[in-house]
Amino acid sequence: MSKKFDVAVLGGGPGGYVAAIRAAQLGYKTAVIEKENLGGICLNWGCIPTKSLLRNAELYDLMNNHADEFGLKVEGLSFDFSKIIKRSREVSEKVTNGVEFLMRKNKIERIKGYGKFKDKNTIEVFDDKEELSDTVSADKIIIATGAHPKQIPSIPVDRKKIITSREAMSLDSQPKEMIVIGAGAIGVEFAYFYSVFGTNVTIIEMMDSLVPVEDKEVSQTLERSFKKRKIKIYTSTKVLKAEVKSKKVKVTIEKNGKEEILEADTVLNAIGVEGNVDGFGLEKIGVEVERGHIKVDKSTYQTNVDGVYAIGDVIGPPWLAHVASAEGIYCVEKLKGLNPPLVGYESIPGCTYCHPQIGSIGLTEEKAKDEGYEIKVGKFPFSASGKSAAIGEREGFVKIIFDAKYGEILGAHIIGPEATELIAELGLAKSLEADFETIVKTVHAHPTLSESVMEAAANAYGESIHI
């Protein structure tokens, strides 16, 4: 069966389905092609199911370790691991169904199957049995095929003993020991999750700190917190190889030129992701791929092939769902001839949902200095916040970095309670090009955690009230 559309989107993740909805809103006859459930990694195997798991961890951690502090008596506290996993899968299913509904609501044709380019305006869709089920032709095609966990030969993933994030959120039983390779957001979230439930976790990072993209002080605070949880941390450490030996996995590491062998029943490969660029005919239509990612012009998101666009993880970092969505919307609006402002890559918040949470935007202190800015730094610890004391979450701080010359917010870094929500205010402030005064003179409600944002801004100019 052959169908003709204005816009066809290959891939139904947070980049693809959002682009499809925006295209439909703008009056394009639109199709979205996806072999699995809509929502991509984010809704099915990433953001949403992991946040569900982390909620379990948070509650259990609170009951298990802090009940007494709140005067609560908990006896016989236990958990059912398979049920924790089950809840996570249910949450995922629910939200993906929501996306299916949105497709119908916006009259987008949802084509199930694996799409491959026939030519630059035609995608052939194959079903489970790899038989041709549909042929989709469209004036414009947007590639939003996403990314997958990066694999390297020295860490051979077998999906049982050496696993990726996908398996880590659907294990049948809880591992006793786990070695997490890579201390990015995915690595530290799983390290936190499994350690709360009693798994002996070791985390290995090649760079010199946990969450290496974050501000150094944030990394240090997280490291202290993780050490308290008895998570073993190896930074500046290289993994030479990982081998499955009977029931265990042996991981050979090298730190300061010295080799060491660690053992665990499960190893999580969390070294990063890379674009899905193979197996759907990119080479056939001549789309240029560079180091595992499609090359695009970021003022249109067009590839080197006329009428073929690409957005989201497949075009490279930052690999974030909200970036994919923003790119998808921009791409379609630009197609329509609207004049959207460029995606503001310098103002993209990054969030990590371990405990304490991390939310950040813009430049770190080190980066700002490297770029030659003269800076003013304001910091406010949650230990000085009334609301933090009340809820018993006194770990962490808000740190804001201003350009001394023009008062611009260069970056903001929050580690602590609800950091991932608190960062939103600074995202808005940054994109509106607010300065220190704008934040300080905005009345923040008391008692809230968000007061800490105001205080941190004030602190940069020596006007903080509560420290």
Partner 1 sequence: MRVNIVMPKMGESINEGTIIKWHKKKGDKVQKDEIIFEISTDKVDTEIPSSEEGTLVEIKAFEQETVEVGEVVAVIETESDAASNADQEEQKSEEKVPSTKQVGGDLIDIPMPKMGESVMEGTIIKWYKKVGDNVESDETLFEISTDKVDTEVPSPVKGVLAEIITNENETVEVGEIVARIKSSTGISYGKIEDKKAEPQKETAVAAKEETTKKSSSTAEIYLDKPVSDRFYSPVVLNIARKENIPFDELERIGGSGVKGRLTKKDLFNYLEARKSGSVTKPRPTEYQSKPSQKETVKFEASETQTTSFGNIDVVPMDNIRSKIMEHMVKSRDTSVHVTAMIEVDMTQIHNYIERNKDTFQNNEGIKLTYMPFISYAAINALKQFPFVNASIEGNNILVKKFINLGIAVAVEPNGLIVPNIKNADERNIRGLAKAINQIGQKARNKGLSPDDISGGTFTITNYGVFGSLFGTPIINQPEVAILGVGTVTKKPVVVEVNGVDSIAIKPMMYLSLAHDHRLVDGMLGGRFLKAVKDTLENFDINLV
Q: Which one among 93, 139, 243, 408 touches partner 1, defined by CB under 8 A?
A: 408
The minimum distance between CB 463 and partner 1, in angstroms, equals 16
Q: Which is nearer to partner 1, 244 or 404 (CB)?
A: 404
Q: Which is nearer to partner 1, 288 or 463 (CB)?
A: 463
Is 371 one of the binding residues for partner 1 (CB under 8 A)? no
Is 406 one of the binding residues for partner 1 (CB under 8 A)? yes
Tell me if residue 110 falls in helix, strand or coil: strand
Question: In this structure, are residues 398 and 421 in contact, taking their beta carbons and an 8 Å threshold?
Answer: no
Which residues are 375's β-sheet partners? Answer: 403
Which residues, in sequence order, are CB contacts of 325 under 8 Å at separation 6+? 14, 15, 18
Residue 293 identity (one-letter amino acid)? H
The minimum distance between CB 342 and partner 1, in angstroms, equals 7
The minimum distance between CB 408 and partner 1, in angstroms, equals 4
Q: Which is nearer to partner 1, 114 or 436 (CB)?
A: 436
By CB under 8 A, the count of residues binding partner 1 is 12
Is 345 one of the binding residues for partner 1 (CB under 8 A)? no
The full DSSP string for 129-162 is TS-EEEEEEEEEEEE---EEE---TTS---SSSE
Q: Which is nearer to partner 1, 243 or 408 (CB)?
A: 408
First to last CA, the chain: 69
Q: Which is nearer to partner 1, 162 or 439 (CB)?
A: 439
Is 461 one of the binding residues for partner 1 (CB under 8 A)? no
CA-based radius of gyration for the chain: 23
Q: Which one among 435, 444, 448, 461 touches partner 1, defined by CB under 8 A?
A: 435
Task: Reply yes or no on whether 446 is catalytic.
Answer: yes
Which residues are 308's β-sheet partners? Answer: 141
Question: In this structure, are residues 436 and 402 in contact, taking their beta carbons and an 8 Å threshold?
Answer: yes
The minimum distance between CB 21 and partner 1, in angstroms, equals 20
Name the one range near partner 1 by CB under 8 A: 9-17, 250-258, 388-396, 402-410. Answer: 402-410
Cis amide bond preceding 356, omega within 30: yes
The minimum distance between CB 341 and partner 1, in angstroms, equals 5
User: How far is Cα 148 from Cα 349, in angstroms, rounded to an integer?
Assistant: 21
Closest CA to 265 of 173, 334, 346: 173
Q: Where are the alpha helices (DSSP H) in 303-450?
A: 321-335, 365-370, 386-391, 419-431, 436-440
Is 434 one of the binding residues for partner 1 (CB under 8 A)? yes
Closest CA to 430 of 348, 367, 351, 370: 348
Q: Which one among 405, 428, 463, 467 touches partner 1, defined by CB under 8 A?
A: 405
Which residue in the list 148, 413, 446, 466 is annotated as catalytic?
446
User: How far is Cα 451 from Cα 198, in angstroms, rounded to an integer?
Assistant: 35
Q: Which one among 438, 444, 448, 466 touches partner 1, defined by CB under 8 A?
A: 438
User: How far is Cα 29 from Cα 182, in angstroms, rounded to an integer?
Assistant: 43
Is 404 one of the binding residues for partner 1 (CB under 8 A)? no
What six digits make up the tokens of 103? Answer: 């497709």
User: How far is Cα 434 from Cα 420, in angstroms, rounded to an integer?
Assistant: 20
Is 407 one of the binding residues for partner 1 (CB under 8 A)? yes
Is 71 one of the binding residues for partner 1 (CB under 8 A)? no
Q: Which one among 433, 446, 463, 465 touches partner 1, defined by CB under 8 A?
A: 433
**Segment 188-227, which members bind partner 1 (CB under 8 A)?**
none
The minimum distance between CB 441 and partner 1, in angstroms, equals 10
Question: In this structure, are residues 322 and 423 in contact, taking their beta carbons and an 8 Å threshold?
Answer: no
The minimum distance between CB 459 and partner 1, in angstroms, equals 18
Residue numbers annotated as active site: 446
In the complex, the residues that contact partner 1 under the rule CB under 8 A are 341-342, 405-408, 432-435, 437-438
